C-alpha cells in the first residue's frame, strides 16, 4: 500500500507547490498561464493515479477474499504464530483438528497441542527455525484437547517485515493417519506378494530337487529287484551307493528347509558353548574329506591353535559346511579350496576361497535370499537355501559375512565372529 500512496503523495505536494506559485503570480498573466497548465497536467496525473490505486485496491480485495476463502475452507490446519509459537491466527480446520473453539485457540502456545513425548523435540525445532529463518518440515504426534494423539506432518515458514526481520511463523499442519495407514497397507501387500513369490520358488525348487534323487532311487531299486541274481556284487554295491547318496541328499534338503523355516519364524534355538575353533574346523574338514570327490581338496591354515569363543556347535557346523560344500561344488573337479582361520583382536576371521565359476554381480545382491540361485549355476544341484541359512547362523552369532567374487576367477567368503569377551545369553531368537 505504501508503494501506491507514494506517487499520489508526491502529486499532492506538487499541487500544493503550484497553488503557492499561482497566488504569487496573480498579477503576472504570462507566468500564471504556464503555472495553470502545469497545475492541470498534475491534477490529471493525480486523478489517473487515484484511479489506478482504486483498481489495484479492488483487485487486492478480491485476491484477499480469495485467500480468505481458501484459508477458511481448506482441510489443512493453517496457523500463524509469533516467533515463540503463540497462536495469533488459525483457520477453522486448525480449530477442528485441535478440538478447540477458534476463540480459545488464539493466544495459546502451539507446543501445548503436541504430545508430551514429542514436546521437547518440537521446541528444539522451533528454536532452529528462529535461528536459521529457513522453512522446514517434520512429523510429530499432535495431542488435541480432550482427544487421542495422532501423527501429523508440519511445515513451517518464516514471515518477515519490510526490513527482513523475522516477526511471525506460518504453520501448515496435515493429519497423516490415512497416509500412514495407506503406507502400512502397501507394505503389507508387498510382504504378501514377496511371500507368495517365495512359496512359488519353494515349491518349484523342492519339486525339482526331489525329482532327481527319487528317479535315481527308483531306477536303482528296480535294477536290484529285477536283476539281482544277474548283478555282480560290485554292481549291486554301486546301486546301493546311489540309493544311499540320494537318500542322504533328500535328508539334507529336508534338514535345510526345516532349519530355514525355524530361523525365518524366529524359533531357531541358539545354544552357545565354548568351542575351540581350530579343532572344530579340522574335525569338520575330516568329515568332508570322507567323500571320495573331496579328498584332500580343502587346504586349512590357522595362525593360532587356541582360538576359542562362544558358538552354537550345530549352527557353526551348518554355516561352515555350507560354505565349504559350495566352494567344492562350484570349483573345477580336483581344484583345492583354501580355508583360513585367524584371530584379530576380539574376533575370529574365517575365510573360504575357491577358484570356481564365480558369482555374477547382479546375483551377489540377492546372494542370501532363500531359493535364489546364480544364473551361471546351470545344472549343478542346489536349492538356494544354503547361503540363506549361513546368513541366519552368522546373525545369531552377532557376526558379519561378506563376499568377493569374479566370474571364472573364484569366490571368497569372509565370516567375522566375536570371541569370548562378548556376552551371550541362551535364548530363542
pLDDT tens by residue, 94-126: 888 899 998 899 999 999 999 999 999 999 999
Which of helix, strand or coil describes residue 409? coil
**What pLDDT is recorded for position 423?**
44
- For residues 385 and 237, which has the higher predicted lDDT (pLDDT)? 237
Q: Are residues 409 and 345 in the same domain?
A: yes
pLDDT tens by residue, 306-355: 888 899 998 999 899 889 988 998 888 888 999 999 998 889 999 999 99
**Residue 138 sits in a domain of what CATH number?**
3.30.450.20
| Cα–Cα dist 21/307, whole Å | 110
**What percentage of the chain carries pLDDT values higher than 90?**
31
| Cα–Cα dist 367/323, whole Å | 12
- How many Cβ atoms are within 10 Å of 139's Cβ, its own excluded? 12
Q: Are residues 246 and 375 in the same domain?
A: no
Q: Is the predicted pLDDT of residue 5 greater than 60, yes or no?
A: no
Residue pair 363/327 in contact by the 8 Å Cβ criterion: no
Q: What is the DSSP letter of 135?
A: -
Average confidence score pLDDT of the chain = 80
**Residue 196 sits in a domain of what CATH number?**
1.10.287.130
pLDDT tens by residue, 264-313: 666 678 889 999 999 999 999 988 887 755 667 899 999 888 888 899 99
Q: Are residues 171 and 82 in the same domain?
A: yes
Helix (H) or strand (E) holding 350, with range, is strand 347-354
Range of the domain at 34: 2-72
> Would you give the end-to-end CA distance of the chain in angstroms?
70
Q: Are residues 212 and 135 in the same domain?
A: no
Q: Are residues 167 and 258 in the same domain?
A: no
**What pLDDT is recorded for position 122?**
93
DSSP helix, strand, coil percent of the chain (3-state; round to 5): 55, 20, 25
Structurally, how many domains does the chain consist of? 4
**What pLDDT is recorded for position 207?**
62
Q: Are residues 278 and 412 in the same domain?
A: yes
Q: Which residue has the cell 506432518?
A: 153
- For residues 259 and 27, which has the higher predicted lDDT (pLDDT)? 259
* Backbone phi and psi for residue 419, each to the nearest 5 degrees, phi listed first: -105, -150
Boundary residue ending a domain (159, 175, 191): 175
Sign of CA dihedral 409, 410, 411, 412: negative
pLDDT tens by residue, 185-216: 777 777 777 666 656 666 566 666 667 778 88
pLDDT tens by residue, 119-140: 999 999 999 999 998 999 999 9
| Cα–Cα dist 390/326, whole Å | 11
| Cα–Cα dist 189/71, whole Å | 37
Q: Are residues 16 and 31 in the same domain?
A: yes
Residue pair 348/342 in contact by the 8 Å Cβ criterion: yes
| Cα–Cα dist 187/195, whole Å | 12
Boundary residue ending a domain (72, 105, 124): 72
Residue 209 CA to chain centroid, in angstroms?
Answer: 35
Residue pair 327/352 in contact by the 8 Å Cβ criterion: yes
What are 115's three cell numbers? 504430545
Q: What is the DSSP letter of 365?
A: T
What residues are paired with 93 via a beta bridge? Answer: none
Q: Are residues 236 and 293 in the same domain?
A: no
**What pLDDT is recorded for position 429?**
39
Closest Cα partner for 350 from 294, 297, 309, 293? Answer: 309
| Cα–Cα dist 250/243, whole Å | 11
Q: What is the DSSP letter of 114?
A: B
Q: Are residues 139 and 213 in the same domain?
A: no
What are 61's three cell numbers? 480485495
Mean pLDDT of 84-103: 89
pLDDT tens by residue, 8-61: 566 556 656 656 665 665 555 666 566 566 666 766 776 676 677 767 666 666
Residue pair 109/85 in contact by the 8 Å Cβ criterion: yes
Boundary residue ending a domain (149, 175, 201): 175
pLDDT tens by residue, 154-175: 999 998 888 888 999 999 998 8
**What pLDDT is recorded for position 422?**
41
Give the pTM.
Answer: 0.49
**What pLDDT is recorded for position 427?**
40
**What pLDDT is recorded for position 216?**
82
What are 97's three cell numbers? 483438528
Q: Are residues 375 and 291 in the same domain?
A: yes
What residues are paired with 89 via a beta bridge? Answer: 80
Lowest mean pLDDT among 9-13, 249-253, 364-368: 9-13
Q: Are residues 276 and 375 in the same domain?
A: yes
**What pLDDT is recorded for position 85?**
93
Q: Are residues 275 and 420 in the same domain?
A: yes
Residue 247 CA to chain centroid, in angstroms?
Answer: 43
pLDDT tens by residue, 414-425: 999 998 544 443
Q: Is the predicted pLDDT of residue 386 greater than 90, yes or no?
A: no
Amino acid at each position: 500500500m505504501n508503494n501506491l500512496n507514494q506517487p499520489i503523495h508526491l502529486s499532492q505536494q506538487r499541487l500544493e507547490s503550484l497553488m503557492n506559485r499561482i497566488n504569487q503570480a496573480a498579477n503576472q498573466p504570462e507566468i500564471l498561464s504556464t503555472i495553470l497548465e502545469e497545475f492541470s497536467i498534475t491534477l490529471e496525473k493525480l486523478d489517473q493515479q487515484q484511479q489506478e490505486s482504486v483498481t489495484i485496491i479492488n483487485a487486492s480485495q478480491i485476491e484477499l477474499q480469495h485467500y480468505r476463502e481458501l484459508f477458511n475452507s481448506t482441510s489443512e490446519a493453517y496457523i500463524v504464530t509469533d516467533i515463540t509459537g503463540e497462536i495469533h491466527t488459525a483457520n477453522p480446520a486448525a480449530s477442528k483438528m485441535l478440538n478447540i473453539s477458534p476463540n480459545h485457540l488464539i493466544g495459546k502456545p502451539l507446543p501445548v497441542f503436541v504430545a508430551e513425548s514429542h514436546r521437547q523435540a518440537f521446541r528444539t525445532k522451533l528454536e532452529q527455525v528462529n535461528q536459521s529463518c529457513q522453512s522446514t518440515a517434520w512429523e510429530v504426534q499432535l495431542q488435541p484437547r480432550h482427544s487421542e494423539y495422532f501423527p501429523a506432518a508440519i511445515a513451517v515458514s518464516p514471515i518477515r517485515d519490510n526490513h527482513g526481520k523475522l516477526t511471525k511463523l506460518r504453520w501448515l499442519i496435515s493429519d497423516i493417519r490415512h497416509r500412514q495407514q495407506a503406507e502400512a497397507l502397501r507394505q503389507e501387500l508387498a510382504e504378501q506378494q514377496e511371500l507368495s513369490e517365495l512359496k512359488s520358488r519353494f515349491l518349484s525348487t523342492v519339486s525339482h530337487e526331489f525329482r532327481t534323487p527319487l528317479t535315481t532311487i527308483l531306477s536303482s531299486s528296480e535294477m536290484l529287484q529285477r536283476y539281482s541274481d544277474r548283478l555282480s556284487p560290485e554292481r549291486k554295491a554301486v546301486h546301493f551307493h546311489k540309493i544311499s547318496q540320494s537318500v542322504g541328499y533328500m535328508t539334507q534338503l529336508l534338514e535345510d528347509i526345516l532349519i530355514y523355516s525355524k530361523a525365518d519364524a524366529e524359533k531357531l534355538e541358539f545354544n552357545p558353548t565354548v568351542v575351540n575353533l581350530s579343532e572344530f574346523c579340522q574335525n569338520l574338514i575330516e568329515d568332508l574329506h570322507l567323500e571320495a570327490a573331496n579328498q584332500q581338496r580343502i587346504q586349512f591354515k590357522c595362525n593360532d591353535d587356541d582360538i576359542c569363543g562362544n558358538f552354537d556347535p550345530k549352527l557353526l557346523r551348518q554355516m561352515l559346511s555350507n560354505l565349504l560344500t559350495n566352494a567344492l561344488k562350484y570349483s573345477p573337479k580336483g581344484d583345492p579350496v583354501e580355508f583360513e582361520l585367524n584371530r584379530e583382536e576380539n574376533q575370529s576371521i574365517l575365510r573360504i576361497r575357491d577358484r570356481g565359476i564365480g558369482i555374477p554381480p547382479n546375483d551377489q545382491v540377492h546372494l542370501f535370499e532363500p531359493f535364489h540361485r546364480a544364473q551361471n549355476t546351470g545344472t549343478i544341484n542346489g536349492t538356494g537355501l544354503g547361503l540363506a541359512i549361513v546368513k541366519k547362523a552368522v546373525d545369531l552369532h552377532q557376526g558379519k559375512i561378506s563376499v568377493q567374487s569374479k566370474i571364472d576367477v573364484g569366490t571368497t567368503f569372509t565370516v567375522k565372529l566375536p570371541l569370548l569377551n562378548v556376552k551371550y545369553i541362551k535364548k530363542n531368537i
